[in-house]
Amino acid sequence: MQSDASTTGDSGRSASGSADSRPHRWTSFRQSVSLPGHWTRTLVLVIVGLIALGYLTQVFRYLHVDFRGLRTLEQYFYYDLEGNIPTWFSTILLFLCAERAWWVASTARASGDRWHRHWRGLSVIFAYLSLDELAQLHEQVVVPLRESLSLGGALRFAWVVVAVPLVVVFAIIYLRFLMAQPLWTRVAFIVSGVVYVGAAVGMEMIGALLVNAFGFQSLLYAAASGIEEGAEMLGAVLFLGALTVALARMQGSDPHTPSPAFRAMFGRPGIGSPA
């Protein structure tokens, strides 16, 4: 009887401990990607709003709901057209990641961190991604690659055949750097990277299949493109938060309390709770 009771008690404590660990893990992850104040939540809401508004313009077109200004609304907000407000917003997010990674690299170098060159490399990569988002550099290789390699189907947007090997090389080069980071920084980098690359490459291939089946004007393609663009922005927001937390910890400050400079630029005094 004592044995049964003991076993039951242990399993109860084990189950309770397991249950308690789940919210703790979520809280730890949340804190590892949260910008000071409510900026993570605000940026995510902006992303949802931009994607929803862009998709709504395609719903109007599909239902033949025409009104004065629809063309302008579509031009400004439909994410698949590029060169508009969603593109501008995504460009800024990526550039902020580059800027934040640069400061992390400088702080790491000043403290003698052996990985400061890897941080600097991240800054350069995100600066390029920001430029590419603005100028659509990768779009320039789609037609030449598709014609020279006779690509189709999921590889209709042929730049992915270049992107995938580059991602693999990046992963190999940065593996030791990643493993050297604190646990939750590592998790935050992996999650944000999977979200961003999964959207940029994976959803691009799904979108290609939908274009082949239904054309560019279909709501299914518009939905896939919206998920792609929204997830890319979300990945950038998560990575920006992870970089901000990493920088604050390197500087020995509370990562979720805005610095005076941050408050002066982005928020009012007294905001300090995580998103």
For residue 253, pLDDT over 90 is answered with no
Per-residue confidence band for 222, with pLDDT thresholds at 50, 70 and 90: very high
Report d(CA 80, CA 74) in Å as an integer: 10
For residue 263, pLDDT over 60 is answered with no
Distances (CA, A) of 116 to 102, 119, 192, 193, 206: 9, 5, 20, 19, 37
Residue from 235, 224, 90 nearest 157 by CA: 224
Q: Which residue has the tokens 């709770």?
A: 273
Amino acid identity for residue 207 in this structure: G
Between residues 50 and 139, which one has the greater pLDDT? 50
Pick the range with the lowest mean pLDDT from 112-126, 132-146, 178-192. 132-146
The maximal CA–CA distance of the chain, rounded, in angstroms, is 80
Residues 181-193 have a mean pLDDT of 95
Pick the range with the lowest mean pLDDT from 2-16, 19-33, 156-170, 197-211. 2-16
Report d(CA 193, CA 232) in Å as an integer: 9
Report d(CA 31, CA 88) in Å as an integer: 27
Provide the mean pLDDT of the chain. Answer: 86
For residue 53, pLDDT over 60 is answered with yes
The helix (H) or strand (E) run that includes residue 263 is helix 260-266
Per-residue confidence band for 257, with pLDDT thresholds at 50, 70 and 90: low
For residue 195, pLDDT over 90 is answered with yes
Between residues 225 and 65, which one has the greater pLDDT? 225
Report d(CA 72, CA 78) in Å as an integer: 10
Residues 109-133 have a mean pLDDT of 96
Distances (CA, A) of 217 to 151, 213, 221, 227, 234: 22, 11, 7, 16, 25
Contacts of 10 (CB under 8 A, 6+ apart): none
Residues 55-82 have a mean pLDDT of 90
> Given this model, what pLDDT does residue 12 score?
45
Report d(CA 267, CA 38) in Å as an integer: 9
Report d(CA 162, CA 113) in Å as an integer: 32
> Given this model, what pLDDT does residue 42 score?
96
Q: Where on the phi/psi map is residue 34: left (φ > 0), alpha (ψ -120 to 50), or beta?
A: beta
pLDDT tens-digit map of 73-105 = 999 999 998 789 999 999 999 999 999 999 999
